[in-house]
Amino acid sequence: MGIRQFKPVTAGRRQMSVSDFADITDRKKKPEKSLLRPLPKSGGRNNQGVITSRFRGGGHKQRYRLIDFKRRKDGQVADVVAVEYDPNRSARIALIAYADGTKAYILAPQGLAKGDKVSSGEDCEPKTGNCMPLRKIPLGMSVHNIELQPGRGGQMARSAGCSAVLTAREGAWAQVTLPSGEMRRVSCECRATIGVLGNADHMNVSLGKAGRKRWMGRKPHNRGVSMNPVNHPMGGGEGRTAGGRHPCSPTGVLAKGGKTRKKRKPNSKAIIRRRRPGPRNTAK
């Protein structure tokens, strides 16, 4: 697993790089058809046709892979059939097959290869790829795909190269340190998968040209200060201007300095240390 550079035969190729896909077992293998779903594009528009997310549209056609974030088939050993590319996420996914013929996709951690065996439940061995409750995982281990509520499925540490560390347990609560540096309490009944997610070099990939961003469904981002006054509050002025006011959205909502986290969020009390350092790093 690494980064492949191109020869600078064109201006776009000069800075472009891609993953070498060395961790994918069979690049010609098609995804499991029973685990595919259509993925329609909205172009950033809501059900009334109004653009609510700007600079979206186009992009390559994709199909969604159903990922098993819950891992509830306890006591059944599954074989890793293949490690595949997923266009919908930065991490790789692994196709696993159970003895009863059921197939599922899971997030592929580092070191998981074709032919390995994975399982889930309280009695399984704490090794890479196995899913266990936090009360059964040894302290100090790296985990990913962590549940916030028991039975809801993994929600934390799911992108490429991410993992959290199980640091402590006290009563019915476990303490985990997330990749952002945030420390939070999670119920010991919540499940997590052991290991660090693969494709850690994803962050080092350079797109190289604007067209490659268009393939991803992202259109050029037009600044507010470059628009006309009728299109944006920061538009207008003779020549280039600094905006004349604090940065804001087209509807006038301030973009910097304001807190965006919802008040009375149910899991705010579980945060022990926030990711941002400072005098207010303790959740109230």
| Euclidean distance between CA atoms 161 and 165, whole angstroms | 13
**Domain spans of the chain?**
17-40+62-202+262-273
| Tokens read off for 2 | 């690494």
**% of the chain surpassing 70 pLDDT:** 97
CB distance 92 to 23 below 8 Å: yes
Q: How confident is the model at residue 260 (pLDDT cuts 50, 70, 90)?
A: confident
Predicted confidence at residue 244, as pLDDT, reads: 82
Distance in angstroms (rounded) separating the CA atoms of residues 277 and 209: 35
Strands 3-5 and 17-19: antiparallel
Indicate the pTM of the whole model.
Answer: 0.90
Contact 2, 22 (CB under 8 A): yes
Region 17-40+62-202+262-273: CATH code: 2.30.30.30
Q: Average of pLDDT values for 207-211? A: 96
Local structure of residue 140 (DSSP, 8 states) = T
Question: Mean pLDDT in the chain?
Answer: 93
Q: Residue 230: left (phi > 0), alpha (psi -120 to 50), or beta?
A: alpha
Q: What is the tens place of the pLDDT at every residue in 210-236? A: 999 999 999 999 999 999 999 999 999
Mean of pLDDT values over 165-169: 96
pLDDT over 80 at 284, yes or no: no
Name which residue leads in pLDDT, 97 or 243.
97
